[in-house]
Each structure stands twice: as structure tokens, then as C-alpha cells.
Chain A
């Protein structure tokens, strides 16, 4: 099956990745035992992940640290071989045909640079141009394009070791996209970057998806980024997919959609005499946040009236619940399910 013949650009079916590691017990005896008879334990980083991404789609793969996002990306890029399941990128099984797959993908892994540390960034671009066999004309036009969007020319003659984090990540993005791959994997590409650079990166990604039709799989902890870029979100936790849907669907399922922010005249615990149909999300002195408790389907204007009727307030307004709250609700929902199934053991969700 050729690349465009496959219905999806990226396909994961029942992916599992288990790592075997040696467990060392504390103390000198434990060290000795680990040397003589090491105890091997299996850690499942990805338990059962299935999803697909259509051509020209931007999907955000979200989840807390250690959820299995990076391991999933490493299987999809062909770096890791799954313990079970199957992956396909542009019709190619990535871990079986690494070199062929490499021509179809570009990747950025957080703060890990693929640029040569001791050379000016532009030399790295030239080396990659030659490795990927990019024609000179295409190379020049791509570099012009990247320069327009990311302002690379002001620092691309600087050695990589002397670049700031933001400059380096912009160069890394250009390096990953230089050969115009149809599929791009970005594992926390904007981590630690300032808002200006983040915006430049978002513009570039938007441009790649909308104008060039590239498929992008992005992992990030930045919900603004998700809201600005992603059409679809896959939430992963403990190696399992918690949800898969559009942002609107996720908001409907896990977010109340809105909250009432009120400042009371007197500082008093609001929980005890909460208005009907509402519950207190948080109270910080006189400032209280309410959300619908789901019992009577209260609408925002009614909620405002009920709060005003119940308390003396100096300020009150409706706030759309942000994506971070929605995601937290989804994690908590998953946690509750897993607790019911007896799978969790003293873990905390931030």
C-alpha cells in the first residue's frame, strides 16, 4: 500500500510497549544481590493505544508526565519497536523500514537538538539537506520560507552551542521540516520558550498544516497551544487512551462550559449555603467560584441570579471554563474509573 493510498497518515492499533529493567533493592546487600542475581521487572509504558490521524490533520496527544506520550511517538517514528500491536505511518511500518520511513517524517523532541553543537546552525541545515537529498532550489526556497516565519537569518550563522533555547528550537523545527515531510511529530516542541517564540512556532505549524497539508502529531502541556492549533485531542494516561475527540466534544463531556466568579461582601464559607444547582469549585477569602452541579441544568443567567439572591456580592461574572480545567476533569474521571477497577495504588493527580 503506498502512502496516499492509505486512508490515514498515522495509524496505531493496540500498541503496547513494555520495558524490562533490573530492580535494585536499597543497601549494600541489595547491591550485591543485584550483581549476583538481578531481579528483572517489567514496566508497561504504553498498555493499549489505538488511534488514527487523517492526512492534513493536526492532533494533540495529551497526558500527564509519564503517561506514555513520548513512548507512543517513539514507536510511531520507528525508534522503538512495540512489544505488541501495529503502527503505520504513510502506509509504512516505521520500526521495520526505518530508512524509508525517515523520508516521510520530521521530528522534534523537546529540548533535544538534532543540530551539530559545534557548527553554525546553517551548516547543520546544509548537512541535513545532503542527507535527505533535498535539491538546491527547494532548499533555498524552504530556508527563505522558514526565515520569513521564524526569523532565522539573524542567528543561523551562530554556532548552535551559543544559541538561546528559543533560537535553537526554531532551528530544530526548520531542520525537521527541511525535507518537507508529509508527517511531523513534535514532542513538547515549545517547552521552556517565551510567548513570542511560542507564537512564531504556532504560526509555522498552522502554515504547514493549512498550506502544505502536512499531518502533525503534537504533544504539549500548553493548553493555549492546544486551543490554538489542535482540531482533535487524544488524552492518554497510564498508557491507555482516556478520550479521543474534538475540543468541542471534550468540553461538552468534561467541562461545565462556564463558571460563576463572585466576590462576596463578607468573607464566609460559601459551601454550606450554596445556591441550588451550583457547587463551590474554589473559595479564596471573599472570592468564590461556582459551577453547575448537574442536578437541574441551570443556565448562566439563572446561576447569576441565584448567587446574587443568596449572597451580597460586590462583583460577579461568568467565565468560560478553560481547557486546563477540562483536562483535569478528564484525568480525574479516568482516575475514578481506575480506582473502581482497583488499578490505582496511591497515585496523585495534579
Chain B
């Protein structure tokens, strides 16, 4: 038990030991939230409804998107702790020298990072709610549907990020893949703007990819744009992605274990 918490808390501990980083995170979140709220209020100044969302729903969606993106926004680069860095510096060998399988270590670190990010997001959510910046969930059912689909959405996102990290075992660098993933994730998950504003063909295309399940679905339940009755269908889609990606990444881990080559001898 203690082993799990120790490993999961590595990123959070590094951040908590750096007051300047905490201040920076708080300032960045505040600025992002302020700008997003201003943007959506301005966009709705001449219209009441767009893409099936009213102003209150649009602002709540935008604020939640900013907070949700914070969940995976912890900075591991400065700690030389990205998979790409571990492979480049040759320190990845130590992942294979401990009585903790690399996939388990990676999972614990990711869960810890997401819980740490969740603490920030939850704090931001409470502040925004108390300040009247955004509305609460559309209903109790919507809140429940949001919670379940948000959890599964984070699982899908975990596997997508893991896949790009696993690429490093073959390609050494994964910068391009990460850039593509980040752009696709932010656009196709509805992180930049809700998918409801996009044309039908775009929504159909994004429905075929896993990104929509990570953010658009849970946030749409929260603001009441998706009826709670649709929950089983969306849960089935999310579970499909979780199971498929879990199987794929497990397979890739097995292959990666035979690909460990530390640079420079």
C-alpha cells in the first residue's frame, strides 16, 4: 500500500517542494479561466443559443474543459521523468531493475499525476462555482453521468498518452506523435470548443475516434446537452475504447520489454 502511494506521489511531491511552481500553476489557471469566461460571454453577446448550447452551458463547458485539461498538465519534463527522457538518458534501464514491473510503475505514476491534477481542478471548480462563474450540473442524474463518463474518459486518455510514450522504445523520440496527439485530443475531444459547434460530418468523424469519449461526452452530460438516457450507449463506447486500448498497450509493453536499449553503451 505504502509502495503504491510513494510511487504515485512523486510528481506531486516535486511540485509541492517548489512554491514558485505552485504559484505559477495557480496564476496560469486563473488567467486561462478568466479568458475562457470572457470569450464565451463575448461569443454569446448577440445570440442566445448556438449548437444547442445556451450561454450558461457554453461557459460551464468552457470552464470545465480548462479544468479537465489541467488533470494531465503536470510538468514531468523538468524532473527528467518523461519516457522520452528516460530513454534518451539511458535511465530507463532502472525501470527493469526494480521489483515493480514497468507497466505497473507507469500506471501508478499516471494515476498519481491525475489525482494531483484532479486536486487542482476540483479546487478551481469549487472557486468558480462559489464565485458564480459557472452553473452547477444540469441535474443529479447529469452529475452522476458526468462523474462516471469523466472517469472512463480519463482512462481512455491514459491509454492514448501511454501509446505515444511506448513509441519511444522504437523511435527514441516521440515529439511528433505527442504534438499530433495533443492537437487531436484538444480539437477532437472538444477541448478547444464543444463539438456541438462543428458541422455534422466533423462530429460523425470524431465519433469514430477515441478522443470524443475523453472530454466531450462527460462535459455534455454535465451541462445537460446529452440526455442521461443516452448514458448506456456512451458507456459502452467508452468501455470499448478502454478495453481495446488496454489490450493494445499491454501487447506493446511486452514487445517493448525486448526493445530496451539504453543509449551509449
Interface residues of A, Cβ cutoff 8 Å to B = 19, 65-66, 70-71, 74, 77-81, 98-100, 102-103, 105, 107, 109, 112-114, 116-120, 123, 126-128, 130-133, 159, 161
Q: What residue in chain B is nearest A99 (Cβ atoms)?
A: B99
Most buried by B among A103, A112, A120, A126: A112
Contact of A126 among B6, B79, B96 (CB under 8 A): B6
- Could you write out 28 A-B pairs with CB less than 8 Å apart? A66-B265, A74-B262, A77-B93, A78-B97, A79-B93, A79-B96, A79-B97, A79-B262, A99-B99, A99-B100, A100-B99, A102-B99, A103-B99, A105-B97, A107-B94, A112-B90, A112-B91, A112-B94, A113-B91, A114-B91, A116-B79, A118-B80, A119-B13, A119-B17, A128-B98, A130-B3, A131-B100, A161-B80
Min Cβ gap A66→B in Å is 8
- Cβ contacts under 8 Å, B265 to chain A: 65-66, 70-71
Min Cβ gap A300→B in Å is 41
B-side interface mostly: loop
Given contacts A19-B261, A99-B101, A131-B6, contact A118 B94 (CB under 8 A): no
A-side interface mostly: mixed
Min Cβ gap B155→A in Å is 24
Given contacts A102-B99, A107-B97, A112-B89, 20 further A-B contacts (CB under 8 A): A19-B261, A77-B97, A79-B97, A79-B260, A79-B262, A98-B96, A102-B98, A107-B93, A114-B97, A116-B14, A116-B79, A118-B78, A118-B81, A119-B10, A120-B17, A128-B98, A130-B3, A130-B5, A131-B3, A131-B100
Q: What residue in chain B is nearest A19 (Cβ atoms)?
A: B261
Given contacts A112-B89, A131-B6, contact A117 B80 (CB under 8 A): yes
- Going nearest first, the 5 A-B pairs with the smallest beta carbon separation are A118-B79, A118-B14, A130-B6, A114-B94, A117-B80
Q: Is B186 among interface residues, defined by CB-CB distance under 8 A?
A: no
- Cβ contacts under 8 Å, A99 to chain B: 99-101
Q: Are A117 and B100 in contact (CB under 8 A)?
A: no
Q: What residue in chain A is nearest B80 (Cβ atoms)?
A: A117
Q: Are A132 and B99 in contact (CB under 8 A)?
A: yes
A65 vs B7: C-alpha distance when bound (angstroms):
36
Min Cβ gap A218→B in Å is 16
Contact of A81 among B7, B10, B258 (CB under 8 A): B258
A81 vs B98: C-alpha distance when bound (angstroms):
16
Min Cβ gap A167→B in Å is 17
A79 vs B259: C-alpha distance when bound (angstroms):
9
Min Cβ gap A164→B in Å is 17
Q: Is B2 among interface residues, defined by CB-CB distance under 8 A?
A: yes
A61 vs B93: C-alpha distance when bound (angstroms):
20
Min Cβ gap A43→B in Å is 12
- Cβ contacts under 8 Å, A74 to chain B: 93, 262
